[in-house]
Amino acid sequence: MKRTKFIVVTGGVCSSLGKGIVASSTAAIFKSAGLKVAVMKLDPYINVDPGTMSPFQHGEVFVLDDGAETDLDLGHYERFIDTPLSSFCSVTAGKVYSEVLTEEREGKYLGGTIQVVPHITGKILSKIELAAKKMKADIFVIEIGGTVGDIEGEPFLEMLRQMRYKYGKDVLSMHVTLLPYLAASNELKTKPTQLSVRELRRMGVTPDIIFCRADTKIPKALLKKVAYFCDVDEEAVIPAETAHSIYEIPLKFQKYNLGKIVSDKLKFKRLKFKLSEWEKGVMAMKKAKQILTIGLAGKYNELDDAYLSVIEAAKAAGFAFQKKIQIQWIDTEKIEDKDKNELQKLEEVDGIIVPGGFGNRGTEGKIQVAQYCRTHQKPYLGLCLGSQIMAIEFARNVLNIKDAQSEEFDEKKKSKNHIIHFMADQRKITKKGGTMRLGAYPCVIKKGTLAHKVYKNAKVSERHRHRFEFNNKYRVQFEDQGFIISGTSPNKKLVEIVELKNHPYMIGSQFHPEFLSRPFRPHPLFHGFIEAIVKEKK
């Protein structure tokens, strides 16, 4: 049996340097050589998982096939390596501490003193080993969140020291740091990188490869300086300069022979890296000139990361038609207040996406957005909540059910018509906790519908993250008036896809198609959305 090789990515100087992109790019390079790769995220925060964390602070929650609610970096991993990951690939300090404490309460440690070393660090390492085994990876890339020097991150770095002691040359350490630019002296500085590496070495870890992040061109002399002061081979100090697109990064890293450097250090036999797909994809992106403006009627407009997968899916679909996607944020609370500037955006954008979300803030504005798209033949794509909004609007303004509402938004039970509701038997169909549908579920698509046309398939699997469902009580009433239920669960009890008859493109999915979109293979619903816009503009 082949022994798994490990690559561990750490970060220094500051956060948000792109450790996830470095990890993803490295994994993509080795997948191109025919190896089975997987990527894992270790998050030092004490939350058990990102499921209940605010998107304002943490960005989107990325859901996997098995229902795991994970960090947005898992989305980067899947988009780059085009391999479905599992809950084993997402571990937080909160999850680790919780499990250790539960085991202590159950008497597993026989009354012994529970300590960070060896119990917490040992638990982290055991999770890495389990994930590598479950994913059957030849090469397993592990990103440690946060920054070297963070208090909560120290157990993870101590684990890395132990890991290198246990697995020796089968473990490679990569460190991503910032070279800050000083405008007054017009120079990049290496001292923060030196200090970051010094702190890492204090923890017993010496990096094998250093990635230097900068927004400007890095002189070779500075790369040599980093190599000298950080005791790293010159060839192993790799510039990570800001690129036009994150999907250029694997190609840029490979120009600096990253594949060969890592292969040599991990003692792989000669590998052939085939990045032709990436080259074609990046070339297609560069050819995109014409701009399409897509309105995003979301709830967390202050932070792009809150809708990262949606934006990436829209961009990927745009590139398929050699179009650049420009996002125009639509504040639905301002729509509710009849703000003229916000209402003007509805006219100016080429199409509108209403993404998922929880809570009733801004929902009346979203309903107005859906009404505008329906009555003005504006292409509309509703994701999860967006599909529910589409149904409520149709009920109110076409079926004349004026109090049509979602049970989620009607806490005081003022409405008698919950078009969207919490199903009585939902506890039988949810995977965990009896409150949410999480993860991949099958969907059967009705032939002759728009959904069938864009999917070109009658059976698909899509990822969910929601509590409320379309109320079957209203199905016949809706369909009689041109509101088509084009996708359902195999037993036909759950509505999965809805669409509007006699409209260029007004479709909503109860699931999150953005999670399965890839940079060079956009999801069918996004591809169809952009295709409809392109046809409308001709």
Beta-carbon contacts of residue 182 (< 8 Å; ≥ 6 apart): 188, 189
State yes or no: is 106 an active-site residue: no
The helix (run of H) or strand (run of E) holding residue 397 is helix 385-397
**What is the pLDDT at residue 430?**
45
Contact predicate 496/488, CB 8 Å: yes
Q: What would the DSSP string read from start to end of 72-91? A: THHHHHHHHH-----GGGEE
Query: What DSSP designation does 112 have?
Result: P
State yes or no: is 103 an active-site residue: no
Buried b (16+ CB within 10 A) or exposed e, 461-488: ebbbbbbbbbbeebeeebeeeebbbbbb
State mean pLDDT over 479-499: 96
State mean pLDDT over 142-169: 94
Q: Are residues 316 and 457 in the same domain?
A: yes
Q: Are residues 137 and 229 in the same domain?
A: yes
pLDDT band at 1, cuts 50/70/90? Answer: very low
Q: Of these residues, 512, 523, 527, 531, which one is catalytic?
A: 512
Residue 107 within a domain: no
Residue 113 within a domain: no
Q: What would the DSSP string read from start to end of 248-310? A: GHHHHHHHTTHHHHHHHHTTPPP-----HHHHHHHHHHHH--EEEEEEE--S-TT-GGGGHHH
Mean pLDDT value across the chain: 93
Q: Within its chain, how far is the Cα of 115 from the centroid? A: 34
Owner of token pair 């076409």: 398
* CATH number of the domain residue 182 falls in: 3.40.50.300
Q: Are residues 302 and 272 in the same domain?
A: no
Residue 174 within a domain: yes
List 382's β-bridge partners, or say none.
354, 508
**What is the pLDDT at residue 285?**
92
Beta-carbon contacts of residue 79 (< 8 Å; ≥ 6 apart): 24, 312, 517, 518, 519
List 69's β-bridge partners, or say none.
63
Residue 39 falls in which region: left (phi positive, over 0), alpha (psi -120 to 50) or beta: beta
- pLDDT tens per residue, range 165-189: 999 999 999 999 999 999 899 899 9
Q: Hey, what are 156's tokens? A: 């993870």
Q: Are residues 276 and 295 in the same domain?
A: no
Question: Which of 214, 247, 280 is where one domain is finished?
Answer: 280
Q: Are residues 304 and 227 in the same domain?
A: no
- pLDDT tens per residue, range 46-69: 988 887 787 767 789 999 999 999
* CATH number of the domain residue 330 falls in: 3.40.50.880
Residue 168 within a domain: yes
Q: Are residues 324 and 183 in the same domain?
A: no
- pLDDT tens per residue, range 313-347: 999 999 999 999 999 999 999 999 999 999 999 99
Buried b (16+ CB within 10 A) or exposed e, 94-129: bbbbebbeeebeeeeeeeeeeeeeebbbbbbbebbb
pLDDT band at 425, cuts 50/70/90? Answer: low
Residue 12 pLDDT greater than 70, yes or no: yes
- pLDDT tens per residue, range 439-476: 999 999 999 999 999 999 999 999 999 989 999 999 99
Q: Are residues 178 and 254 in the same domain?
A: yes
Q: Are residues 251 and 296 in the same domain?
A: no
Q: Are residues 16 and 158 in the same domain?
A: yes
Residue 98 within a domain: no
- CA–CA distance, 302 with 54 (Å, rounded to integer): 12
Residue 114 within a domain: no
State yes or no: is 531 an active-site residue: no
Q: Are residues 231 and 162 in the same domain?
A: yes
Q: Of these residues, 342, 384, 496, 527, which one is catalytic?
A: 384
pLDDT band at 431, cuts 50/70/90? Answer: very low
**What is the pLDDT at residue 200?**
95
List 5's β-bridge partners, or say none.
139
**What is the pLDDT at residue 242?**
93
Residue 120 within a domain: no
SS3 annotation, 164-225: HHHHHHHEEEEEEEECCEECCCCEECCHHHHHHHHHHHHCCCCCCEEEEEECCCCCHHHHHH
Residue 432 pLDDT greater than 90, yes or no: no
Q: Are residues 388 and 482 in the same domain?
A: yes
State mean pLDDT over 5-18: 94
Question: Which of 280, 296, 316 is where one domain is finished?
Answer: 280
Domain range for 41 is: 5-92+132-280
**Surface-to-core class of residue 431, CB atoms within 10 Å of its CB (0-12 exposed, 13-18 middle, 19+ buried):** middle
pLDDT band at 537, cuts 50/70/90? Answer: confident
Residue 428 pLDDT greater than 70, yes or no: no
State mean pLDDT over 68-83: 94
Residue 111 within a domain: no
Question: Which of 227, 246, 280 is where one domain is finished?
Answer: 280
pLDDT band at 301, cuts 50/70/90? Answer: low
**What is the pLDDT at residue 2?**
67
Orientation of helix 73-81 relative to helix 19-31, angle to 10°:
20
Q: Of these residues, 78, 393, 514, 531, which one is catalytic?
A: 514
- CA–CA distance, 252 with 238 (Å, rounded to integer): 10
Tell me the pTM: 0.93
- pLDDT tens per residue, range 502-526: 999 999 999 999 999 999 999 999 9
Number of domains in the chain: 2
| 13 residue type, one letter | V
Residue 434 pLDDT greater than 60, yes or no: no
Q: Are residues 220 and 321 in the same domain?
A: no
- CA–CA distance, 410 with 415 (Å, rounded to integer): 7
**What is the pLDDT at residue 536?**
87
Residue 231 has, within 13 A of its CA and on its CB side, a CA count of 9
**What is the pLDDT at residue 433?**
42
- CA–CA distance, 127 with 40 (Å, rounded to integer): 10
Please state, in angstroms and as integers, the Cα–Cα distance from residue 476 to each residue in 265, 419, 473, following that order. Answer: 64, 12, 8
Cα radius of gyration (the chain): 25
State mean pLDDT over 353-369: 89
- pLDDT tens per residue, range 222-270: 999 999 999 999 999 999 999 999 999 999 999 999 999 999 999 998 8
Q: Hey, what are 14's tokens? A: 């500051």
> Phi, psi at residue 496, to the nearest 5°?
-110, -40
State mean pLDDT over 277-288: 92
> In terms of DSSP H, where are the helices of 2-92?
19-31, 55-58, 73-81
